Amino acid sequence: MLALILGDPSIEHSLAELAERTGIPYASVHREVERAGASGLVTSRLVGRTRLIRADPASPYFGGLSDVLVKAFGVPWVLGEALAGVSGIDAAYVYGSWAARFSGEEGDRPVGDIDILVLGGPDRDEVYAAASTAERRLERAVQVTIRSTDWLTEGSGTFHDTVAGRPMVPVPLMTTRTDPEDRLPAVPRPRRRRSAPSTAPKPSPRR
């Protein structure tokens, strides 16, 4: 929840929205927001009967916490989780406006879409399907560019120079495996056992 709030201090969130997007019960969201407000991490205002929450960049804790939380649970983390099931990916980076704002460059907020560079030889349809999954979670468009593994170091051209010359944020791919045989096995779900039919004799009907 804090990653969602601290990820972009220009966006306000209602408590109901935070509960819906994170899957956390409303009461728990309310409690955590109260704690964050008491520590100075967030500010809030009332619009009618709706309480709107946003991060407070003036907080002395904002810079460090936002950096850790967004890297761990924000845009790069969501993208990495979505791409974890796609084989053939050697590396991935968020680039463009989001990466620039995250790295401290001045510019417009909020950023409309997310640009991701995927390096390797993955199945394109699988990558695009994974990007669609990430879009639903981030509620932002995800623009995918796929290039060869050595494109950043060996590539050329205007687009290459633009991407390579601006900030990029690595996408964590800790659970991704290039070789399908190396993937972690799925956890088997126990089957429900059916009760054995009773072998006891049925009582004789009374006359």
Once rounded to an integer, what is the mean pLDDT over residues 96-109? 81
Tell me the whole-structure pTM to 2 decimals: 0.61
pLDDT at 193 over 50: no
73, two tokens? 């649970």
pLDDT at 197 over 80: no
Q: What is the pLDDT of residue 192?
A: 40
Cα 74 from Cα 59, distance rounded (Å): 19
- pLDDT band at 153; cut points 50, 70, 90: very high
Q: What is the pLDDT of residue 174?
A: 59
pLDDT at 190 over 50: no
Once rounded to an integer, what is the mean pLDDT over residues 61-69? 85
pLDDT at 68 over 70: yes
Domains and CATH numbers, the chain: 2-65 (1.10.10.10), 74-178 (3.30.460)
Cα 35 from Cα 33, distance rounded (Å): 5
Q: What is the pLDDT of residue 203?
A: 53
Once rounded to an integer, what is the mean pLDDT over residues 16-38? 91
- Name which of 57-71, 103-117, 121-135, 164-178 the model is least confident about: 164-178
95, 171 contact by CB (below 8 A): no
| Residue written as token pair 């796609």 | 86
Once rounded to an integer, what is the mean pLDDT over residues 140-144? 93
Once rounded to an integer, what is the mean pLDDT over residues 88-93? 96
Q: What is the pLDDT of residue 179?
A: 40
96, two tokens? 């463009």
Q: What is the pLDDT of residue 182?
A: 36
Grouping H, G, I as helix, E, B as strand and the rest as coil, residue 80 is helix
Residue predicted with more confidence, 200 or 36? 36
Residue predicted with more confidence, 157 or 20? 157
